[in-house]
Amino acid sequence: MAKISAVGSYIALDDSGGTVRNISNDISDIEINLPTNLLEVTGMDKSAPERIGGLQDSTVSLSGFFNPAANMSNAVLGTGRTTARTLTIVIGGNTTGNPQITGEYIIENYDVSFGDDRSATWSASLSKNDGVVQAWSTAS
């Protein structure tokens, strides 16, 4: 696949009732982290660390523009944060073949800010919840 931009990207998150909501229009920034917990297994005969891969995780940070309309970001992120929800991000638009990441996440935090310039923005952190290793796929 050739290089692509994030223009037109699709971000959908279940609301607290389990209905998929497209909140793409409210999003300004996305950060996807796929860390691996490294386990140190250094023997006494070594002078530098030996490591093996442990549990793999996934966190997603989203930032956007405050939108109190029905079924948009505030309604989706602001309620039922302890319930796992399906998050789908398709880079470059919800088109067959585009890079996609989908998984079950819990909303760790949802913070709303009102700037001195009178802007209304939010940020949210979501953490993987279903015990399945997160991997990239392609939209179908």
The SS3 of residue 21 is strand
Residue 103 domain-assigned? yes
> Looking at residue 18, which CATH number applies to its domain?
2.40.10
Residue 32 β-bridge partners: 60
Residue 43 domain-assigned? no
Say how many domains are in the chain: 1
| Domain boundaries, position 92 | 10-34+61-138
Degrees to nearest 5, angle at CA 43 with 38 and 48: 65
Task: Write the CB contacts of 77 (distance below 8 Å, at least 6 apart in sequence).
Answer: 13, 23, 107, 110, 122, 124
Q: Tens-of-pLDDT digits for all 140 residues of the chain?
A: 688 899 999 999 999 999 999 999 999 999 999 999 999 999 999 999 999 999 999 999 999 999 999 999 999 999 988 889 999 999 999 999 999 999 999 999 999 999 999 999 999 999 999 889 889 999 98
Residue 88 and residue 11 in contact, taking contact as beta carbons nearer than 8 Å: yes
